[in-house]
Amino acid sequence: MQLNDKASIRRALAAATCTLLGSASQTSHAEGSDEKWRVDTSVLYYSEQDRVTVVEPVVFLRKTTGEDSFVNFRLIYDTMSGASANGATPTNKPQTFTSASGTSTYTTPAGKTPLHDFSDQRVAVAVEWDKPVDHLSRAIYGINASTENDYRSIGLSATRLRDFNDKLTTLTLGIAGSYDSVMPIGGAPIPMQLMSAAVPSPAGGEGDEGEGGKTKLVADAIVGITQVLTRRALTQFNYSIGYSSGYLTDPYKVVSVIDATGATLDYRFESRPDIRLRQSLYWKTAYHFDHDVMHFAYRYYWDDWGIHAHTADLHYRMELWKGAYLQPHLRYSTQTAANFYTYSLLNTSPVPTYASADYRLGDLTTTTYGLKLGIPVGRTSELNLRVESITQSGNGYPADAIGIQKNYDLFPTINTTVVQITYTGRF
Amino acid sequence: MLARPLFILLTLLTLSACTLAPVQPWDRDLLAEEKMQLIPDPVENFIDEHIYFSKEGASGGQGVGGGGCGCN
């Protein structure tokens, strides 16, 4: 830290004071301990080529309510429009799809990947109370809720952080639970039912909530340790476990039913297990060079659906001049497919209990390149702009493709552009 | 199933911490900088978590209490 003016000296003293009080947990409010409010306002533009576009204004507010005590508010508004792959494979004829209730249809031209048009809005709010319990412990309690046309979620969370070892080590324990409701537009289809046989689903079935609605419960827990390694290095290890129970199927996804020539005969509504156990090991480290800072994270994820994923994430913040910075971002993630993932179903094979052609459950590689420019505004505020490119790809020409399926890309690459502009103010 | 690798991990971490010279409170100036926080930009981190939660089969790892979505 260069002490080249009085403001820098004041900030350094504030930082030093804060560090004497602070801990390895580094809960994102180290500098500027005299601030009353921190406001982050952001607009995200997310656009998948030929698919969905999302515009998302976000406001985060943090109010200092007392010595080392904070209340965090989050407000997010998403508008989504465009198209999403419905899981069916391309074929040599136009394909017409019907909703579960039989009330709406859409058609995909021959040779094209079937996409389902949709538009939705989502509002999400969250409040967190972050306060010391004693001179070595903090507690964070949160509540969050979101609503969209066909989905609602409400959740609670509690995290406890405890410092040890002269505040060089912090142990984190956290739990969270959420209760989600899905109200599929067009009704909730009967899993694995042929689309040609779909009729309006009767109300009041198992797991129903009124108009074909379904529910799920999600519980998560985390245990982690954060360690100051040197004056310049900080590291964190987390183990997370999550359990989901209830309606985990995507009501808008189908699987093509094909014959021995690869021709599409019909579609089955997808079916997923109603339980999912997720686990992950997460390691993150931050290193301070003379001026620049690097963050590196690696996660190994596995679940009982058969997905195993390796994810590496690197941010390198390069200081430019007068507080401005440039930050390249690289992220690479590769996952194996869920054991019930399939490109299609053969009409002569027995109907499986579970099947999904959702690319997000397939063998999938995601690569992200990003760049962020941050510019200080006044002494305590910042404006930043980031642009990222996300590429998601898989095996479009699998060896076990049948007949005319070999003529088509069964796993088209998805290219996404992300632009985000953020203003952070401290008052 | 996980108890053993977790125990080994925590033991290694504890041992590594013991072998390092302790960082004194007056030497924690760099660690106190906002850019050295484990999550230096909460909004960016929140948005990225949401994007990848929506578009990949794997999720989580950093914390608890994100919030759900239909995620078409």
pLDDT band at B71 (very low <50, low <70, confident <90, very high): confident
Which tokens go with A352? Answer: 């499986």
Whole-number average pLDDT of chain A = 90
Beta bridge partners of A10: none
The two beta strands, A308-319 and A275-288, are unpaired
pLDDT band at A198 (very low <50, low <70, confident <90, very high): confident
Q: pLDDT > 90: what percent of chain A?
A: 81
pLDDT, residue B16, reads: 56
Query: Of residues A16 and A153, which shows the higher confidence score?
Result: A153
Q: Is B15's pLDDT higher than 60?
A: no
Q: Which residue of B has its CA nearest to A282?
A: B61
Least confident piece of the model among A22-26, A55-59, A143-147, A254-258:
A22-26
> A146, B22: Cβ pair inside 8 Å?
no
Write down the pTM of the prediction: 0.88
Contacts for A135-144 with beta carbons within 8 Å, 24 or more apart?
A136/A23, A136/A162, A136/A163, A136/A164, A136/A167, A137/A161, A137/A162, A137/A163, A138/A25, A138/A27, A138/A68, A140/A27, A140/A174, A142/A176, A142/B65, A144/A74, A144/A178, A144/B65, A144/B66, A144/B67
Q: Is A70's pLDDT higher than 60?
A: yes
> A225, B10: Cβ pair inside 8 Å?
yes
* Shortest CA gap A288–chain B (Å): 7
Rg of chain A over all Cα atoms, to the nearest angstrom: 25
Q: Is A235's pLDDT higher than 80?
A: yes
pLDDT band at B14 (very low <50, low <70, confident <90, very high): low
Q: What is the distance between the alpha carbons of residues A173 and A181, in angstroms, rounded to a whole number?
A: 27
Kindly provide the ipTM of the predicted complex, given to two decimals.
Answer: 0.90
B43 sits in which H/E element = helix B42-55
pLDDT band at A207 (very low <50, low <70, confident <90, very high): very low
pLDDT, residue A199, reads: 66
Q: Is A427's pLDDT higher than 80?
A: yes
Domains of chain A: 3-426 (2.40.160.40)
* Shortest CA gap B60–chain A (Å): 7
* Closest residue by Cα to residue A169 from B37, B13, B41, B64: B13
Across A155-175, average pLDDT: 96
Substitution target from A43, A160, A173, A234 for chain B, most B beta carbons within 10 A: A234
Query: pLDDT tens across A74-122, in order?
Result: 999 999 999 999 999 999 999 999 877 777 788 999 999 999 988 999 9
Nearest residue, CB atoms, A238 vs list B31, B34, B61: B61
* Closest residue by Cα to residue A48 from A406, A270, A372, A359: A359
Across B10-36, average pLDDT: 77
